[in-house]
Amino acid sequence: YDEEVNKENDRESRVVEANSVEQEVESINKGEVRRALKRMKRGKAVGPDDIPVEVWKCLGEMAVEFLTRLFNNILESERMPEEWRRSEHL
């Protein structure tokens, strides 16, 4: 376990090239966000935002509206926050 967690990560040095495919993507609607929030399990580790699932669920419709706007802004601008590109898996 210790070896796996502490091994040097060469992810930064690897470059992957992918072919870009242009296609129209539909907007995300509030119903999709509500369903996704319902499926999220409580008690899981937080991501880079340090916001636990429980907070999003407690915010109810306010969270649904915020997340729907956020995701659609990302789709429209075609720019994802840099923090979302980084992920640590154990």
Q: What total of structural domains would you count in the chain?
A: 1
H/E element, 4? helix 2-6
Query: Does residue 17 carry a pLDDT above 70?
Result: no
Asked whether the CA dihedral 88, 81, 52, 70 is positive or negative, the reply is negative
In a domain, 90, yes or no: no
Please report the pLDDT score of residue 46 as a whole number. Answer: 87
Tell me how crowded residue 20 is: count the other CB atoms within 10 A of its CB. Answer: 5
62 belongs to a structural domain: yes
Region 8-18 average pLDDT: 48
Q: Model confidence over 18-76: pLDDT tens digits?
A: 556 667 778 999 999 999 999 999 999 888 788 999 999 999 999 999 999 999 999 99
Q: What range does the domain containing 35 cover?
A: 2-85
Answer yes or no: are the C-beta atoms of 68 and 29 closer than 8 Å: yes
In a 3-state reduction of DSSP, which class is residue 68? helix
